[in-house]
A and B are shown apart, each in its own frame.
Chain A
Amino acid sequence: MDHVSTAEHPAVHDGSHEHAHHEQSFLRKWVFSVDHKIIGIQYTVTSLLFLLLGFTLMMIMRWQLAHPGVPVPLIGGLMGIANAPGGIILPEFYNQLGAMHGTIMVFLGVVPLAVGGFGNYVTPLMIGAPDMAFPRLNMASYWSYFIGGVIMLASFLVPGGAANSGWTSYVPLANIATMGQTVWLCGMLFLIFSSLFGAVNFIVTIVQLRAPGLTWSRLPFFVWTQLVTSFLLLLAFPPLQAAAMLQFMDRVFGTNFFMPSGLVVSGQIVEGAGGGNPLLWQHLFWFLAHPEVYVLILPALGIVAEILANNTRKPLWGYRLMVGSLIFLGFMSFVVWAHHMFMTGMGTSISAFFQTTTMIISVPSVVILSALFLSLHGGSIRFNTPMLFALAFLPMFGIGGLTGLPLGLSAADIPLHDTYYVIGHFHYVVAPGTIFALFAGIYYWYPKATGRMMNEVLGKIHFVGSFIAINVVFMPMFIQGLAGVNRRLWDGGAEYAHAQDVLHWNLTMSQGAWALGFFQIFFIINFFLSMKTGKKVDSNPWQATTIDWTDTTSPPLAHGNFTKVPVVYRDAYQYSVPGAKADFIPQTAEEE
C-alpha cells in the first residue's frame, strides 16, 4: 500500500495507524470509532437525548409546582408507587427530579454537547488537522461519558431512588442521603474521567496540530473558546473528584470528613468520631463548579461569534480584545468560587476578596458580549435560523449576566441567595443563553456533517416558539425570587405567607415550560427529516472563511478530513474585504 503521506508530509508514520482501504466492521466504524467526526456525532446525539430527558424531568416538576397534589396526567402511573403514589409526586421524588435535572443538564447534556459534540466535530476541521491528537483517547472519553450517563440513570432504580440532595450535593445532607447519592458519586467519577481525557486531547490538538500558517492570531474565536474551556476542565475538575472521594468514604467507610461533631439528625445525635468540616465540601465543590459555569458559556460564545461574523459578512469587532478577555476570564474563574458561599458565615475580609474578584470577572464577560453586539454594526445581516438563535443569545445572555451582579455582592445576595432569583439568573445564561447558541450551532454545522440543509420554515417556528416560551418560563422567576420564594421547594412556596402574592406565576411558568417542550418537536422532526429530504449543498453553503467550510467536503472525507494539508495565509474573518472578488476570502486562499 502506497503511503504517499510519509513522503509528502512532515509527519512520521504511526505504526498503529489504520489503513484507509481496510473495510471496518460496523462496530469499529460506528460504535467504537476513533474518528473525531463519528465521536462528535455520538456525543451530539447522546447529549441531545439527555437534554430531552433532563427537560422532561423538569416538565414533571413543573406540573407539581403548577398543580400541587394533583396527579400527573398521562404518565402519572408510570413513575412507580414509591415516587408518585396515585400519580401524585411525593416531596422525596420531587427532590430526586430536581437534583437529577441539574446533574443531567449540566454534566450529561450541555457540556458534552458543547465540548464533546461541537468541540470534537468542528475543532480539527477548523484548524486543518486530520483528527484529534489522540483518537483512541477520544473514544475512551466518549465511552466514559456514556457509562457515567448510564450509571446516573440507573440511580433512579435503586432503593430510595436517585440522588436527592441537589446537584450541589451539600453535606451533611448528602452524607446521610439514600443510596442514590453513592451511585451519583460513582457516575461523577466516570464523567470526570471523560472530561479530563477530552481536555488533554483538545489542548494538545489545538497547540500541536494547527495547520501551517495558522498562527494564534489567525485562530477562529471558536477554537480559542474550546482551548480555554479545556484548561478550565483540566484544572477545575480534579478537586471535585477529590471531594467526591471524600464524600464516598464518608458514606461507605464511615469517615467523618464532612461530619461535624455533635450533628443531630431527626432528634438523634449521629454516632461517629465527628470532627469534620461541611464547608470543606462547599469549597471543593464550588472550586470546580464555578469554572464549570464558564465551561457552560465559553463554547457558546465561540459558536455565536462564528455565526455572527458569517451572517453579518463582516469581521468580528475587537478580535484581539475578545481573545485577551477570554484568557483573563479563564484565570479569574478560579478565584471567585466563594461567591456561592456568602451565607456560610465568612468574615468580612474574605467576603470582600471574593466580591472584588467577582466584580472584576464581570468585566471580560461584558467586553466579549459588547464586542459581539458591536460586530453587528454595519453588517449585511442574513436572518437565517442559526443567525436568529445567535442574535437572541446576545440579549438573553445579557439578562443572565446582569442579574448575576447582585448575587455577586454579598449584601444584595442575602435576600436573594437560594431563591428563585438565582434559578432565573443561571437559567437565563444557560437556557436562552447557551442552549440557544447550541441550537444555532446545530443549524449551522448540520450541512457540514450531513451535506444537507435543515428546513428553514421548521427552524424559524422552532426559534420563535422557543424564544417566547423560554422567557415565559424564566422571567417570572425573578419576581418570585425578589418576593423571597425559596428554591427546591416541592410545593413551589405554597406554605409561605410571603409567597402567596406571587404563587400564581407557577402556573404561568409551567405553561411556558410545556409550550417550550411542544416547540422542540419542530426541531426533532427537522433534525431527522432533513437527513433524508434536506436541500443538498456543496461544501460551503454559508460562504464561510474558516477551514472547516473551505477545504473539505460536506460531509468531510472519512479519513483524514483533507486531501492535502491546508496552508493558512490570513485570519478567520476576511469578509467584505474592499476590492476582493467575493464578499469573503477563505483563510487558505493564497495572496493575490
Chain B
Amino acid sequence: MDMEIPYTVEPRPDTGLTNPKLGIWLFLASEVMLFGGLFSSYVLLRSGADYWPNQADIVNIPLATLNTAVLISSSVTMVMAWASLKMNDFAKYKLYMGLTFLAGVGFLVIKTIEYNEKFSHDFYPSTNNFIGIYFLLTGLHAIHVIGGMVVNGFLWGPGAKMWKTAPEQFVNRVEVAGLYWHFVDLVWIFLFPVLYLL
C-alpha cells in the first residue's frame, strides 16, 4: 500500500496553492535574481564606463517595439488558452495555445533579423560592452522563450492527451506554463526600455 503525494492537483487549504503553482512561483523568484543580476551588471558597467555608445545608434527600435507587441499579445493568448479550458472549450484552447506558440516563433524570427543586422554592421559581443551585454541579455531571454515554447508545444500537442484522462491536472499545467510565459514577457517589458530606449 503506498501513499500518494497530496496537493498535486487540489490546493492545500491553508496555503491555497497546489505544489506545482508554488513551485513555479519559487522558480520565477530565482529567475528574477538571475535577470536582476544581469540588469545590475548592465548598470554597473554603464555607470563605470569611460565610453558608452549611444544605444539608439546600434539597436533597432521599431523591430523591438514590434517584438514587445508580439510578446504582450502572446501573453493574452496564453491566458485565453487557460480560460478556454476553464470554460470547457478544448477547441478554443488549441487555437489560443497555437497562437501563443506562433507568437513565440514570430518573436524569434524578429530577433534573428535583429541579430543578423548587428553582425552585418560588425557589431559583435566583443566590440564593446553595451553590445556584449545586449547579446547576453537578449540571448538569455531568447533561450527562455525557446524553453517556454517547448513546454507550450508539448501542452498543445502530445501533452494535450491529459485533457481526456486528468482534465483538472491538465488545466493546472496550462496555468503553470502560463505563469512562466508571462514572466518571460515581464522580463522583456524591462529589457525593452533599458536596452533600446535609454
A508 within 8 A of B: no
* Contact residues, B79-119 vs A (CB, 8 A): none
Given contacts A10-B10, A131-B5, A245-B140, contact A199 B26 (CB under 8 A): yes
Q: Are A238 and B129 in contact (CB under 8 A)?
A: no
Given contacts A11-B3, A200-B26, contact A275 B129 (CB under 8 A): yes
Indicate which residue in A15, A20, A199 contacts B2 across the interface (CB closer than 8 Å): A20
Residues of chain B within 8 A (CB-CB) of A280 are 41, 44-45
B193 within 8 A of A: no
Q: Are B5 and A207 in contact (CB under 8 A)?
A: no
Given contacts A257-B132, A273-B127, contact A130 B5 (CB under 8 A): yes
For A173-217 the 0/1 string (1 means CB < 8 A from B) is 000000000000000000000001001110110011100000000
Size category of the binding interface on chain A = 35 or more
CA distance A238 to B48 in the complex (A): 23
Residues of chain B within 8 A (CB-CB) of A203 are 22, 26
Given contacts A238-B33, A284-B37, contact A5 B27 (CB under 8 A): no
For B135-158 the 0/1 string (1 means CB < 8 A from A) is 010001000000000000000000
Q: Are B37 and A9 in contact (CB under 8 A)?
A: no
For B3-19 the 0/1 string (1 means CB < 8 A from A) is 11111111010010101
Chain B residue with Cβ nearest A253:
B125
Q: Are B132 and A15 in contact (CB under 8 A)?
A: no
Q: Are A256 and B3 in contact (CB under 8 A)?
A: no
Question: Chain B binding site: helix, strand, loop or mixed by DSSP?
Answer: helix
Q: Are A209 and B5 in contact (CB under 8 A)?
A: yes
Residues of chain A within 8 A (CB-CB) of B48 are 277
Residues of chain B within 8 A (CB-CB) of A5 are 1-4
Indicate which residue in B15, B33, B133, B169 contacts A257 across the interface (CB closer than 8 Å): B133
A461 within 8 A of B: no
CA distance A235 to B32 in the complex (A): 9
Q: Are B1 and A12 in contact (CB under 8 A)?
A: no
> Distance (Å) between the CB of B175 and the closest chain A CB?
16
B51 within 8 A of A: yes
Q: Are A241 and B4 in contact (CB under 8 A)?
A: no
Given contacts A10-B10, A15-B165, A238-B34, contact A275 B19 (CB under 8 A): no
Q: Are A238 and B31 in contact (CB under 8 A)?
A: yes
> Distance (Å) between the CB of A193 and the closest chain B CB?
11
B30 within 8 A of A: yes
CA distance A204 to B127 in the complex (A): 44
B58 within 8 A of A: no
* Contact residues, A240-266 vs B (CB, 8 A): 241-243, 245-246, 249, 253-257, 261
Chain A residue with Cβ nearest B10:
A12
B166 within 8 A of A: yes
> Distance (Å) between the CB of A335 and the closest chain B CB?
14
Residues of chain B within 8 A (CB-CB) of A23 are none
Indicate which residue in B3, B12, B49, B127 contacts A130 across the interface (CB closer than 8 Å): B3
Residues of chain B within 8 A (CB-CB) of A287 are 37
Residues of chain A within 8 A (CB-CB) of B44 are 277, 280, 283
> Which of B9, B27, B34, B162 has the largest number of chain A CB atoms within 10 A?
B34
Residues of chain B within 8 A (CB-CB) of A135 are 5
A91 within 8 A of B: no
Interface pairs (26), CB distance under 8 Å? A4-B1, A5-B4, A12-B10, A14-B4, A14-B169, A15-B166, A20-B2, A129-B5, A134-B19, A134-B23, A135-B5, A199-B30, A208-B15, A208-B17, A235-B30, A236-B33, A239-B37, A241-B34, A242-B34, A245-B38, A249-B132, A257-B45, A273-B129, A275-B50, A287-B37, A560-B2
Per CB-CB distance, the 9 closest pairs between chain A and chain B, nearest first, are: A254-B126, A242-B37, A239-B37, A238-B34, A560-B2, A560-B3, A11-B6, A130-B3, A255-B132
